[in-house]
Amino acid sequence: MKPAKLKKLYLGLGLPKICVPISERSASEVIAFAGQILSTSADLVEWRLDYFDDVNDSEKIRETAEKLQQILGDLPLVISLRDKSEGGHAHIDDLTYQQLTSQLISNHVTDAVELNWSRPVSIRQQLHNLATVNNVPVLESYYNMKETPSLVDLKDVLGQMANEQVDFIKLAVQPNQHRDILNLMEATLTASETIDQPLVSVALGPMGTITRLSGRSFNSAATFADLKRSSLPGHLSVEETRQFLTALDETGISSVQVGE
């Protein structure tokens, strides 16, 4: 497996990396929240553009993202833009998604560009090509907010995403029964043994909390946490997550990741 490099961070090496989402609505709130993240031990930051009041104003997005980059310094920033069907907060049609994402790439304001698997292949391809030309790493994400696909389907979608030669891959699914968690972990571990890219997998909601801590054992390279516990259902705080990850690592029960 080849780790993905975002600024000075290697995703896929060592402990799973802790990512904090910013879901604030105004530019000043986004910047203030980023300031608070700096006082935690977070490894990376995700800006959820679909929560931004000015999501249709590309100039305001550029300005805010540039300020974010400045304030975050070495902390990598990934900008995510999701329609309601992808678990997002806004309606983002394909054309808007394509235009805004193209601008994020061309303006060099995100340390990785997120391509949502549910978007048409032609759009993903165009954005992937643009990202390659601009040297921006590519994250491809599969979201399923209703259910967790079967084990066979999970493995299939991971294989298909890996074939697109992206730099890292994310799977976020809704578990409806505990066996869904086992399937997600098995699909993640099995795929990590064969594909070249780091994988990030998360089962949402309280039932999925265990998947936020088990990355080291099942080869999920990152996890999501918040400034405080339960800001989102199933979320732990950054520091709780850090303590669990470190304790699990120190007991030595975790698997050694490929590439170490």
Ligand X SMILES: O=C1C[C@@](O)(C(=O)O)C[C@@H](O)[C@@H]1O
Rounded Cα–Cα distance for residues 260 and 251 (Å): 18
Rounded Cα–Cα distance for residues 166 and 173 (Å): 20
Closer to ligand X by Cβ: residue 80 or 197: 80
Q: Can you spell out the DSSP letters for 67-82?
A: HHHHHHTTS-EEEE--
Closer to ligand X by Cβ: residue 80 or 102: 80
**Binding test (CB under 6 A) with ligand X, winner from 75, 79, 204, 222:** 204
Cα–Cα nearest to 19, from 27, 29, 4:
4
Closer to ligand X by Cβ: residue 80 or 219: 80
Site size toward ligand X (CB under 6 A) is: 9
Min separation Cβ 170 and ligand X, Å:
6
**Binding test (CB under 6 A) with ligand X, winner from 32, 182, 232, 247:** 232
How many degrees, rounded to 5, is the angle at CA 39 between CA 34 and CA 42? 75
181 contributes a contact to ligand X by CB under 6 A: no
**Binding test (CB under 6 A) with ligand X, winner from 47, 97, 218, 224:** 224
Helix (H, G, I), strand (E, B) or coil at 49: helix
199-203, strands of its sheet edge to edge: 199-203, 168-173, 138-144, 112-116, 77-80, 44-48, 17-22, 222-224
Per-residue x/- marks for ligand X, 23-62, CB under 6 A? -----------------------x-x--------------
Distances (CA, A) of 243 to 137, 236, 248, 250: 29, 11, 8, 10
Closer to ligand X by Cβ: residue 15 or 45: 45
Closer to ligand X by Cβ: residue 124 or 142: 142
Q: Which of residues 137-176 bind ligand X (CB under 6 A)?
A: 172
Closer to ligand X by Cβ: residue 15 or 79: 79
Min separation Cβ 146 and ligand X, Å:
14
- H or E element that contains 144: strand 138-144
Q: Which of residues 64-83 bind ligand X (CB under 6 A)?
A: 80
Rounded Cα–Cα distance for residues 219 and 191 (Å): 9
Q: Which parts of this chain interact with ligand X (CB under 6 A)?
A: 21, 46, 48, 80, 172, 202, 204, 224, 232
